[in-house]
């Protein structure tokens, strides 16, 4: 850059050798100002380029940070959705198990109720049969009593018949003996 400024200054000085010293000074000053302006413009361009590069790096970092944040949000969202899905699945499984347990308990209650009904029917049948057994025993006892009564009646009848026979035999003997003596 300095070479360019120096070369342009020398070219101006040599080209204006004929002009007056003030024109040459003015010309050199103008060339210096132009060179300085060009150098300033070059520095500005380099600064702008550096700033543009810095801005590009910052923009890239910002985009990367935003992408990382977005990815982290997506990962968090996916994790939450997975947790929600697992909670729903677990709740469904618990509901299914609870329903199965309730169904099992209902079946157990039904079986217990049926068993109690059968036991009650058995007791009723046994009670009804007990009444039949009692009635049979009473009939047997009545029949036995009738047999004893019949035996007693028969014995009494035999006794009465024997008595009548003896009385009639005695009267016949008395009558026969009366006939003998008469």
The per-residue pLDDT string of the chain (182 residues; one tens digit each, 9 = 90 and over) reads 656 655 566 555 555 454 556 777 888 888 888 988 898 999 999 999 999 999 999 999 999 999 999 999 999 999 999 999 999 999 999 999 999 999 999 999 999 999 999 999 988 888 878 778 888 888 899 889 999 998 888 888 888 887 787 788 878 787 887 777 76
Query: What is residue 5's predicted lDDT score, i.e. its pLDDT?
Result: 55
pTM: 0.37
Give per-residue burial for 34-47: e unless 16+ CB within 10 Å, then b: ebeeeeeeeeeeee
Domain boundaries, the chain: 2-144
How does pLDDT run across 12-32, given as a tens digit for each residue?
Answer: 555 545 455 677 788 888 888
């Amino acid at each position: 850059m300095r070479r360019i400024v120096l070369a342009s200054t020398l070219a101006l000085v040599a080209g204006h050798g004929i002009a007056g010293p003030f024109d040459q000074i003015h010309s050199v000053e103008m060339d210096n100002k132009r060179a300085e302006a060009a150098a300033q413009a070059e520095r500005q361009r380099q600064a702008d380029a550096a700033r543009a590069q810095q801005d590009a790096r910052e923009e890239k970092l910002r985009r990367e940070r935003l992408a990382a944040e977005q990815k982290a949000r997506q990962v968090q969202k996916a994790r939450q959705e997975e947790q929600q899905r697992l909670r729903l699945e677990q709740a469904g499984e618990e509901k299914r198990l609870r329903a199965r347990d309730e169904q099992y308990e209902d079946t157990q209650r039904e079986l217990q109720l049926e068993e109690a009904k059968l036991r009650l029917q058995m007791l009723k049948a046994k009670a009804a049969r007990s009444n039949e057994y009692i009635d049979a025993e009473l009939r047997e006892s009545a029949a036995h009593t009738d047999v004893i009564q019949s035996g007693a009646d028969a014995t009494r009848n035999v006794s009465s018949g024997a008595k009548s026979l003896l009385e009639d035999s005695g009267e016949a003997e008395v009558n026969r003996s009366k006939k003998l003596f008469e």
